[in-house]
Structure 1
Amino acid sequence: MTAAVAAPNEAAVLRLRDIGFDAPRTLLAGYGLTLHHVPDGTPIPGSFWGDDEAGIIGHDVHARGDTPVHSLLHEAGHLIVLPAERRAAVHTNATDSVEEEDATCYLQIVLADALPGVGRDRLMADMDAWGYTFRLGSAKAWFEHDADDARDWLIERDLLPR
């Protein structure tokens, strides 16, 4: 898997304002994370990419209403895959590990099923629209045919939802 971000198709992706903060807040709380609603028009603390992208600091995930759902799940996924001692030290950038990045991409797709009105198919389409790139040409192709290592990494650490 190679995930990179190209020029986003901003109008095409689902945003937090479309689904609300309650379901994502509950989902993240189940992993010991706190979702903070950042007021529109203000910078998002801990955002690696800036603009409307979610931010992470320790056990906290920061997002605005215009934050893409895929961004929220991706950044939260970074915190979820980290051991507690590493999670506490995170500020903005969670990892340089290819294995953790792959696991995060896989996990964000799976977590989308827990959000009403989202689901994995919508999330993968949004990832493609935003500009994630995968060897097989799409998030769905990667997830279904090339992500065994990421899934196995998550299973070994008991990180996939049951």
Structure 2
Amino acid sequence: MDAAITAPHGSDAPVQRLADIGFAAARALLARHALVLVEVAAGEPIPGSYWGDSEAGVIAHEVYARADTPVHSLLHEACHLIVAPAERRASIHTDASDSQAEEDATCYLQILLADDLAGVGSARLMADMDAWGYSFRLGSARAWFEHDADDARAWLAARGLLPQAPR
């Protein structure tokens, strides 16, 4: 298995949260991919959240998050919608993963998109992924991304989902 996600460590894990970067930049990034970021009030359950707690949720073309939602969670769930074929996206609710190849592509794309959020970046996102409980056969998100993600990159490229501009 290339990338896997174990149950999150919990709300006290030292990861970057939406409150740290604000909703505006995340909302603009998602809008570029025809997604809507729906802000959920503090303490309210997040609709479409697979893991519960502060984890982002997905329903069709909407990504749900609170201020305490980890940035990596928001990007991961958004990327599940981005990589899903349009005909399937509309029916997605909570569990967005279709295959291991799609899961790997989602992880790869979330790392790329982190560079589009000021104050986040791919290095910080990969560290947060490791802290939260993603597991990779090479031991870290960075090692996987740099040395073992050719299949994820190829999957994205075959579908025209890799960013066109150099990063």
TM-score (norm 2): 0.94
Question: What corresponds to 1:37 in structure 2?
Answer: 39
- Deviations 1:2-26 (CA, angstroms, capped at 9, x unpaired): 3122552734100000000000100
Q: In the alignment, what sits opposite 2:159?
A: 157
- Aligned equivalent of 2:104, options 102, 105, 124: 102
CA deviations 1:19-43 (Å, max 9, x no partner) are 0000010000000000000001000
C-alpha deviations, 1:101-137, integer Å up to 9, x for none?
Answer: 0000000000000000000000000000101110000
Aligned to 2:3: 2
Q: Which residue of 1 aligns with 2:63?
A: 61
State the partner residue of 1:88: 90
| Percentage of matched positions with identical amino acids | 69
The count of residues paired between Structure 1 and Structure 2 equals 162
- How big is each residue's C-alpha offset from its partner over 1:66-90, in whole Å with a ceiling of 9 and x where there is no partner? 0000000000000000111100000
Q: Which runs of 5+ in 2 are unaligned?
A: none
Contact 2:54 2:65 in 1 (8 A): yes
Q: Tell me the distance in 2 between the aligned counterparts of 1:85 and 1:77.
A: 16
Gaps of 5+ in 1: none
Q: Distance in 1 between matches of 2:126 and 2:132?
A: 10
